[in-house]
Amino acid sequence: MQKNKRLYLHVVCTSLICIVFGFNSVSAEVLNLNLAIQNAQSACSGISDAMSDLKKMAGINTAVTAVGTVAGGVALGTGIAKKNVDQEQQELKEKVARLVAAKKDVPIEQLTIADEKTFIQQIQGTIRGLSDETNQDIVRIEELERKSKTLGHIRTGTLATNTATNVAGTLIASTNKVDGDLKSKISNCISAVKDLTNAKLAAKVEGTATETDLTRVDKIVAHCRDWEVVDLESINKRATGAAISSGVGIGTGVVGTITSAVANTDATRKGDEQKEKNLNTTANVMAGVSTVASATATVFNAIQISAIKKAAIVADECEGALR
């Protein structure tokens, strides 16, 4: 032990000539304890900032996917409303067509009732001879056509918004993970705290460390050793889940957006009622799936925030104890 003391004094006197006195009672164990504290400070610093960044990005992604969920819900609700409007319009067209066909004494099949514009043109010359109720039905058909088009545009727009949020959500989630560098830093922190525990035991056995030193080390170890039980993989699993869910939302959102836009074009509506119905149904189904995907991603993001918060608390308390 005395040899260690003399060696340390020689080094100190060589490096810091004017600070020779006052070190006669310093032992190697205390020096190692101080060095162990410094190593732990170096190894464990900066983790708190990294966790804060992860938590911030997870929060942003939660907000993004939540917006996507709302947009998808609006798209689905609008699509259902459009379906009901189209159904009402079709029923009125068929009702008017039967009256017009009877008045003109022609087969109803000669009237193109699937296309509103062509249908109105076909019955223009007959309108004056129809009842007021039927004329009101014709006006209603035109109103429903405009409403259907508006709802179709809203559905297409909100599906596009949902798709955009899922794209952003996928990009954020795929990168918002505990990467190799951060894992390595946390691992080094755990090792440094173990070394600090050993240094404390050595100093305590020798009886060379003060109670203040030992109390400080106990506080550091108590807060920093929690890194051993923090489940970092749970953070990454949630990020992966969110990325996959948002990815599904991208695929269905793109299909739904395109299908909705095609279903709402005049070219599609001309004379092919069943095709239009099929496109609308597909767009609504895609809107529903996209909404569920966005909602699932939001849940994953929220759970990831919870997992990150637990790690962030450990990081904050550990670095706080090391200051």
Q: Give tens-digit pLDDT for 196-222.
A: 999 999 888 888 788 998 999 999 999
Q: Quick check: 264 pLDDT over 90?
A: no
Cα–Cα distance between 20 and 10 in angstroms, integer? 9
Confidence class for position 13, pLDDT limits 50, 70, 90 = very low
Cα–Cα distance between 52 and 185 in angstroms, integer? 15
The pLDDT, as a whole number, for residue 3 is 39
Show the tokens assigned to 198.
């050993």
Cα–Cα distance between 91 and 106 in angstroms, integer? 20
Cα–Cα distance between 55 and 63 in angstroms, integer? 12
The pLDDT, as a whole number, for residue 6 is 37
Show the tokens assigned to 180.
């190799």
Q: Quick check: 24 pLDDT over 90?
A: no
Percent of the chain scoring above 70 in pLDDT: 80
Q: Which residues contact 318 (CB under 8 A, 6 or more apart)?
A: 44, 47, 48, 189, 220, 223, 224, 226, 227
Write a three-state SS string for 13-51: HHHCCCCCCCCCCCCHHHHHHHHHHHHHHHHHCCHHHHH
* Whole-prediction pTM: 0.80
Cα–Cα distance between 117 and 120 in angstroms, integer? 5
The pLDDT, as a whole number, for residue 268 is 56
